[in-house]
Structure 1
Amino acid sequence: MSTPLRTTYPVPVEDLIPAARKLADELGSVPSRNRIMKEFRIGADKARSVLDALTAEPHLHAVPDQAAPGHGVGAVEMPPAPEEGASPQVTPPVDPAPTAQAAPSEVVPAASAEEVKPVRSWPVLLLALPAFVAVWSGWVGLGELTGFGVVHPLPGIADGFTINSAITLPIGVETYAAFALRVWLSGRVPARARRFAKWSALSALGLGALGQVAYHLLEAAGVTRAPWQITTVVACLPVAVLGMGAALAHLIHTRENGEK
């Protein structure tokens, strides 16, 4: 490394340039201003003048100061010195290609909190009230035509307590259809659960529609006892709803097994 110039008098810039050139040769690159200040113990203005003199030479190129570990030097490497007798080849500076100005893109203002409002779901209640009355009466009427009726669910415990078992049809079938439909459309359950909820919800809704059609056809025809085919299907509905509900509840909680 070069030996710093040590004197009690201010050293002129002309005397510092050869030493700075020697330092650049040793480093293989143009020293930064901070390195020149530290090496020759001079101020920032004089170091800048020395650096300008070095970078004015054709084969040297200075770069901005960088905080490199240990040296604080940021520069690019100098090209190899030309051989003796050969004329130095200076590459003229090349103007950078003009940068095409990007067309200003249309800025879409973000929707404010006041503009984005959730859709109200209370109209569903108005839709559900007449549907509840029609579906309830249809299932209860079909249940009575297929053998469902008043029973004593707690014999010997509460003999006076009675219940019409026909109400199990609308509660079971329609409640499961609504539950499976919500699971299917929520998108927050495993894929297997969504598929099962989709097909079972559509099946439950289809059975509900067929039950209403069967009841009104039998009622319009004045039939007081449903055929055995309809009785068989209606009698199996509570068991089918229980099985589908238990299976869906199990599939919803299969996330611990690694299924996403």
Structure 2
Amino acid sequence: MTTATVPSAYPRAVGDLLPAVRELADRLGEIPSRNAIMREFKIGAPKAQAVRLALVAEPITTPDDTDTGPVSDPWEYAEPAPAITPVPVILPAVKAAEPLPQAEGDGHPPVTVEPSPLPFNRRTLATWPVVLIALPAFVAIWSGWVGLGGLTGFGVVHPLPGIADGFSINTAITLPVGVEVYAAYALRAWLSGLVPPRARRFAKWSAIGSLLVGALGQVAYHLLVAAGIQSAPWWITTLVACLPVAVLGMAAALAHLSGEGSEQ
């Protein structure tokens, strides 16, 4: 929509018409044509063309009146980015001869998971040396416990009276079988790592205690024999008599703890 302009009695100069033509360009959103200027301001073709050229020749400024340069593609005047020099990758001497992995579609090399080396040799030690070492130890321990049992009241009994009167057994053998076998069993549970933490702690201390008791029993027997004593003192007899019961309780407790869940 255009507004009627009252014609002046005197012809208007180009400089006087330029602000009005600029306002018209702002309303239209574009530079008006020569004919539009002629119709709007009732001027001739030469003056309309001169005003239009003057409007076109005006520099375009930003609202803060700062010079932004010519209006065109901003990338046309952008400075070229500096070239990126590839950094050489220095590999260790051991890996220098290996080919680099090929890049996948996203540009990244494929991820490979290498198996971690085993921290130790999985081969187990031979067991025959243990058997060879255990034979003389078994003889010494067996004779020591049986002899100590004889000095503390252990001896031949008939466990089945009225049923098998001829069947007898020397109760002194209960000492080496109970104490030493339990020590080996608890030692296995402690070092194998196959039992829950509570059972492992119990096995550790009970195994150490059983081995110490076994060593003290051997010392006591040899001291009594060396001194020519035929009957052990009462306190040694008391301790030796409690060993089968103590071993039974520890074995039952370790078996119970070994059956618990690993969360204990």
* Pair member with larger Rg: 2
Calculate the TM-score normalised by the size of structure 1. 0.61
Please state how far the C-alpha of 1:119 moved relative to its aligned partner.
Answer: 2.0
| Residues matched between the structures, number | 172
| Alignment of 1:162 onto 2:168 | yes
Of 132, 135, 146, the residue aligned with 1:126 is 132
CA RMSD of aligned residues (A): 2.4
Which amino acid is the alignment partner of residue 128 of structure 1?
A
In the TM superposition, 1:207-246 aligns within 5 A as: 207-246=213-252
> Post-superposition shift, 1:150?
0.4
CA shift, 1:187, in A, is 1.2
Q: For 2:72, which of 57, 81, 84 is the aligned residue?
A: 84
Could you tell me which runs of 5 or more consecutive residues in structure 2 were left unpaired when the two chains were aligned: 1-69, 99-115
Cα distance in 2 between the residues matched to 1:85 and 1:124: 89
SS in 1 for 2:194: coil
- Aligned counterpart in structure 1 of residue 159 of structure 2, from 153, 159, 162: 153
* Structure 1: distance between partners of 2:205 and 2:251: 13
CA distance in 2, matches of 1:236, 1:116: 42
Which residue of the partner structure matches residue 179 of structure 2? 173
1:244 Cα deviation (Å)?
0.4
2:91 partner SS:
coil
Q: 4+ residue stretches of structure 1 with deviation over 4 A? A: none
Deviations 1:115-150 (A, max 9, x none): 974321101111111001100000000001000000
Name the structure 1 match of 2:92.
Answer: 103
Q: 1:94 aligns with which of 83, 87, 99?
A: 83
1:255 match: 261
Between the aligned residues of both structures, percent identity stands at: 63
Give the letter for the 2:127 counterpart. Answer: S
Whole-Å Cα distance in 2 between the matches of residues 105 and 223 of structure 1?
74
Q: 1:148 to 1:116 in 2, by over 3 A?
A: closer
1:157-211 Cα shifts (integer Å, max 9, x gaps): 1111000000000000000000000110001211111111010000000000000
Q: Secondary structure at the match of 1:254?
A: coil
One-letter amino acid matched to 1:97: P
In structure 1, C-alpha distance between the alignment counterparts of 2:237 and 2:87, rounded to whole Å: 85
1:30 is matched with which residue? none
TM-score by length of 2: 0.60
Secondary structure of residue in 1 paired with 2:207: helix
- Structure 1 residues 138 and 251 mapped into 2: Cα distance closer, same or farther (>3 Å)? same
| Alpha-carbon spacing, 1:230–1:116, altered in 2? closer, same or farther (3 Å) | closer
Aligned residue identity for 1:188: L
Structure 2 Cα separation of the partners of residues 172 and 247 of structure 1: 15
Query: How many Å apart are 1:85 and its aligned residue?
Result: 6.3
Q: Within 2, Cα distance between the matches of 1:215 and 1:176?
A: 20
Match of 1:198 among 192, 200, 204: 204
Q: Deviations over 1:201-259 (max 9, x none)?
A: 00000000000000000001111100001000000000000000000001111117x33
